[in-house]
């Protein structure tokens, strides 16, 4: 079956999906219309998938397809989400974010990488296999959520339904790391970054009260100033870095691929976790996020007029909790760091980090085998995913949960996720389809 010829038009189909603004954070304003339109378009674009797979709906936004295999065995679960984050219309996009422009071998628009492009390559692979008369060795489930960007209630229910039905997945694969070039300093070549675990995610609200009144005679400590001071205290050094086993393994792999001084450097870091934690934390950015809990204030509120002291103020803080930590310990650390009893700390949402899935065994080998068919120059490298995904709802009962998007992404593309000028190359879409097709074909 490896000689299957994929049908043409994947880029055009993705373009059509991008043009539907499935912004889950704006569901109250936009209504269910875009989401219903998206689901209807999937039915039109992938007729064989809808004819041969069993579809069940979970909440208004969850889609679960079951493709029955040739024998009873633990299934493969392929996940993606079809909602996207909002767009600031004043941002300088090269092409309008919901136009799905195809140009220069690329598809532009919100969701091309996160996560409609990855959803599309799953469906493309399934549709192409069905057209060739293929039946997988074991069941394959396609789990698609429409509210991952707003804490994933649909995926939570899908996972619960499978668990309650006694379905224990053999392998769960969701969005996550990508195929990247030169992933760390001194490291050359392509690496397929496969997330064995993901950091926890938590939203905190910091709130404070103060004396309202006219701004011409402010007291020494206003509500706004108190909140500003609390946010300022939650700097990059709030949480101490540490090196999880997965990151030690990553450093060991990179030691064999590094050039120049990088080779002995990564060997030392792999052998000395405390030193690795300090070095990676000092590098900042993605490197630092691998080894410590990150904290970022994302919203602030307070006040009704320029010359009026507000009686209350608040800030919203987003944290990504390092593997090995917990929500409770993280909240306690935040309170100690703020050191102000007048600032109330409230947990809006919070999930602990996931366990670490194995970097050996048949499940990881299956991913590496699919890589060999789609990105033969890319080595499978385990890492910790910094973002949260819908797959966290599966790790509570499934031991092999991985986060990997089979698309090649440059640093600039990764910056476009949740940012400006998000795009995917057509070549990456073709390779992504090939990855999923090979993964399904190789099932035993």
Task: Grade residue 195 by pLDDT with cuts at 50, 70 and 90.
Answer: very high
Could you give the angle at the alpha carbon of 35 between the alpha carbons of 153 and 428, nearest 5°?
Answer: 90
Classify residue 104 as left (phi > 0), alpha (psi -120 to 50) or beta.
Answer: left
Residue located via tokens 């009873």: 72
Give the tens place of pLDDT for each residue, 71-123: 999 999 999 999 999 999 899 999 999 999 999 999 999 999 999 999 999 99
pLDDT score of 2: 56
Give the tens place of pLDDT for each residue, 358-386: 998 999 999 999 999 999 999 999 999 98
Contact 59, 136 (CB under 8 A): no
Residue located via tokens 């043009």: 19
Classify residue 252 as left (phi > 0), alpha (psi -120 to 50) or beta.
Answer: alpha
pLDDT score of 1: 44
Give the tens place of pLDDT for each residue, 250-278: 999 999 999 999 999 999 999 999 999 99
CB atoms within 10 A of CB 85: 18
Q: Which two tokens stand for residue 184?
A: 């760390």
**End-to-end alpha carbon distance in the chain:** 14
Alpha-helical runs (H) found in 53-115: none
Whether residue 3 has pLDDT greater than 80: no
User: Which domains are delineated in the chain?
Assistant: 10-198+355-441 (3.40.630.10), 200-351 (3.30.70.360)
Whether residue 282 has pLDDT greater than 60: yes
> Any idea how long the chain is?
444
Whole-angstrom Cα distance, residue 69 to residue 75?
A: 9
Whole-angstrom Cα distance, residue 1 to residue 99?
A: 36
Mean pLDDT over 414-426 rounds to: 96
pTM: 0.91
Q: Is residue 258 classed as helix, strand or coil in its secondary structure? A: strand
Give the tens place of pLDDT for each residue, 230-242: 999 999 999 999 9
For residue 96, which phi and psi values (nearest 5 degrees)?
-55, 135
Mean pLDDT over 333-352 rounds to: 96
Contact 408, 270 (CB under 8 A): no
Query: DSSP readout, 307-335?
Result: TEE-SEEEEEEEEEEPTT--HHHHHHHHH
Q: What strands, in cross-sheet order, belong to the sheet with 294-301?
A: 294-301, 312-321, 200-209, 344-351
The overall average pLDDT reported for the chain is 95
């Amino acid at each position: 079956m490896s000689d299957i010829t994929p049908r043409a038009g994947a880029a055009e189909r993705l373009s059509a999906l991008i043009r539907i603004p499935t912004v889950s954070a704006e569901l109250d304003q936009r209504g269910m219309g875009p989401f219903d339109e998206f689901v209807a378009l999937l039915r039109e674009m992938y007729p064989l998938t809808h004819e041969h797979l069993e579809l069940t709906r979970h909440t208004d936004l969850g889609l679960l397809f079951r493709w029955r295999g040739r024998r009873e065995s633990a299934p493969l679960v392929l996940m993606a989400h079809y909602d996207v984050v909002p767009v600031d219309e004043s941002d300088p996009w090269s092409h309008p974010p919901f136009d799905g422009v195809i140009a220069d071998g690329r598809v532009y628009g919100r969701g091309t990488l996160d996560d409609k492009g990855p959803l599309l390559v799953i469906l493309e692979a399934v549709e192409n296999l069905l057209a060739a008369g293929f039946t997988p060795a074991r069941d394959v489930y396609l789990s698609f959520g429409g509210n991952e960007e707003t804490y994933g209630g649909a995926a939570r229910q899908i996972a619960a339904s499978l668990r309650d039905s006694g379905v224990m997945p053999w392998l769960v694969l969701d969005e996550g790391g990508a195929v990247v070039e030169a992933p760390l300093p001194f490291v050359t070549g392509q690496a397929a970054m496969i997330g064995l675990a993901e950091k926890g995610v938590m939203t905190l609200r910091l709130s404070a009260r103060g004396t309202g009144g006219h701004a011409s005679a402010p007291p020494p400590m206003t509500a706004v100033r108190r909140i500003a001071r609390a946010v300022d205290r939650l700097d990059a050094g709030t949480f101490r870095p540490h090196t999880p086993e997965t990151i030690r393994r990553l450093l060991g792999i990179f030691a064999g691929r590094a050039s120049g001084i990088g080779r002995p450097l990564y060997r030392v870091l792999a052998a000395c976790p405390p030193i690795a934690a300090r070095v990676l934390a000092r590098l900042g950015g993605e490197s630092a996020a691998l080894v410590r809990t990150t904290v970022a204030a994302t919203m602030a509120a307070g006040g009704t007029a320029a010359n009026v002291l507000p009686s209350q103020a608040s800030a919203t803080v987003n944290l990504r909790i390092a593997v090995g930590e917990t929500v409770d310990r993280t909240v306690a650390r935040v309170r100690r760091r703020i050191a102000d009893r007048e600032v109330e700390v409230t947990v809006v949402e919070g999930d602990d980090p996931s366990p670490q899935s194995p970097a050996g065994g048949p499940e990881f080998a299956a991913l590496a085998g699919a890589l060999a068919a789609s990105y033969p120059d890319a080595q499978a490298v385990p890492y910790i995913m910094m973002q949260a995904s819908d797959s966290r709802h599966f790790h509570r009962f499934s031991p092999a949960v991985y986060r990997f998007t089979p698309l090649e992404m440059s640093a600039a593309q990764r910056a476009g996720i949740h940012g400006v000028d998000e795009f995917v190359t057509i070549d990456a879409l073709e390779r992504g389809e090939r990855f999923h097709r090979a993964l399904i074909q190789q099932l035993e």
